[in-house]
């Protein structure tokens, strides 16, 4: 089912949570809404579900205007951040709930068969008779997903699906959700504040800030071409250094960074730690090492430039470097954005 949001607005009391968002999600697509807290991503998800009504604008499911269809009849599967499993029902009863209350009558054997199928799908065959309080967080998450899928939703919506889990479980579940999506092909929209999760999982990432979409595209597009300083900053660690452009070239120490299309004047240069190197000579920024942090994948140098700016850079694990050493920061890639 294709979903289309047309200029949707939502205001809480005086706070404008969503600011005129238009978005299209193709049938079968897996899309991430990514943004910091307060960016309006959960509000958008809840409006698609029908748990909030939009103040203005329209939401279409396929050709149908779903804006005013109540959540009960909208046919969405919603997975809550804290799962919202019914604590007094067993896992099997939780999954069967949607089928039991639906207007479309099903007999008991059909429901039982479907519950067994879903338990197999989420790999929880042995846990049907347990209560939610007796299973782990990752298992609860999978029960919540099975429960949402049981009503054959047109759209699957997940609110911070892995937010409450620890890192290893989260990585496993992510892969697994990707597989389930491939198997079922259901249009899926999920909300996250974790850029790694969004990039790992989604076909397309929609980045939000202050209730507006600031960029959307495939993970490759948003990573290689961040549309703004905000996106650049939000997608990963970055150093921000002020510089001046003269004749289409920005200068940082001895380094020259092409800045085509920028008028002469101040700009901001964004440098990812992995796009920088450490060397004893060459054209770069002279700096002094303040501290070295060791990590499994390499060493991170915290350096102070001659002009007093702090810069972080990642180097290979074998690099011999220690505090108070002087050297040159070399630049492999940089992005230039207008100052401000």
Does 88 participate in binding another protein (rule CB under 8 A)?
yes
Strands 335-338 and 265-271: antiparallel
Minimum distance from CB of 151 to another protein (Å)? 6
Q: Find out whether 256 and 283 touch, Cβ atoms under 8 Å.
A: yes
Stretch that binds another protein, among 17-25, 53-61, 83-91, 236-244 (CB under 8 A): 83-91
> Quick one: 98 or 298, whose CB is closer to another protein?
98
> Quick one: 103 or 324, whose CB is closer to another protein?
103
Does 103 participate in binding another protein (rule CB under 8 A)?
yes
Does 51 participate in binding another protein (rule CB under 8 A)?
yes
279, 269, 271: which is closest to 316 by C-alpha?
Answer: 279
Distances (CA, A) of 202 to 11, 28, 48: 28, 12, 18
Stretch that binds another protein, among 48-56, 255-263, 275-283, 293-301 (CB under 8 A): 48-56
Interface residue with another protein among 72, 108, 175, 291 (CB under 8 A) is 72
Stretch that binds another protein, among 95-103, 194-202, 265-273, 293-301 (CB under 8 A): 95-103
20, 30, 23: which is closest to 4 by C-alpha?
Answer: 23
Query: Between 203 and 222, how does the x/- string for binding to another protein read (CB under 8 A)?
Result: --------------------
Does 48 participate in binding another protein (rule CB under 8 A)?
no
Minimum distance from CB of 82 to another protein (Å)? 6
Stretch that binds another protein, among 81-89, 105-113, 247-255, 261-269 (CB under 8 A): 81-89
Distance CA(99)–CA(296), nearest Å, equals 48
Does 155 participate in binding another protein (rule CB under 8 A)?
no
Chain contacts with another protein (rule: CB under 8 A): 49-51, 71-74, 76-78, 80, 82, 84-88, 97-98, 101-103, 131-134, 147-148, 150-151
């Amino acid at each position: 089912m294709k979903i289309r949001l047309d200029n949707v607005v939502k205001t809480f009391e005086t706070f404008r949570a969503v600011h005129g968002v238009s978005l299209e999600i193709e049938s079968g697509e897996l899309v991430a809404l990514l943004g910091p807290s307060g960016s309006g991503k959960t509000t958008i998800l809840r409006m698609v579900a029908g748990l909030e009504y939009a103040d203005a604008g329209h939401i279409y499911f396929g050709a149908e205007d779903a804006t005013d269809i109540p959540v009960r009849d909208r046919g969405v599967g919603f997975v809550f951040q804290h799962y919202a499993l019914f604590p007094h029902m067993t896992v099997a009863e939780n999954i069967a709930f949607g089928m039991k209350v639906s207007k479309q009558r099903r007999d008991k054997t059909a429901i039982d068969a479907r519950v067994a199928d879903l338990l197999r799908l989420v790999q929880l065959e042995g846990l049907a008779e347990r209560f939610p309080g007796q299973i782990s967080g990752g298992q609860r998450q999978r029960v919540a997903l099975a429960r949402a899928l049981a009503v054959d939703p047109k759209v699957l919506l997940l609110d911070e699906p892995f937010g409450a889990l620890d890192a290893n479980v989260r990585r496993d579940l992510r892969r697994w959700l990707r597989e389930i999506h491939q198997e079922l092909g259901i249009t899926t929209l999920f909300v996250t504040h974790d850029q790694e999760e969004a990039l790992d999982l989604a076909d397309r990432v929609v980045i939000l800030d202050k209730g507006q979409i600031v960029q959307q595209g495939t993970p490759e597009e948003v990573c290689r071409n961040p549309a703004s300083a905000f996106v650049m900053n939000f997608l990963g660690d970055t150093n921000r250094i002020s510089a001046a452009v003269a004749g289409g070239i920005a200068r940082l120490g001895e380094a020259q960074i092409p800045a085509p299309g920028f008028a002469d004047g101040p700009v901001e240069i964004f440098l990812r730690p992995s796009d920088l190197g450490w060397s004893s000579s060459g054209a770069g920024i002279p700096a002094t090492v303040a501290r070295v942090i060791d990590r499994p994948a390499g060493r991170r140098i915290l350096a102070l430039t001659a002009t007093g700016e702090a810069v972080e850079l990642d180097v290979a694990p074998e690099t011999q470097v220690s505090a108070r050493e002087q050297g040159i920061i070399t630049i492999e890639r940089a992005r230039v954005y207008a100052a401000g």
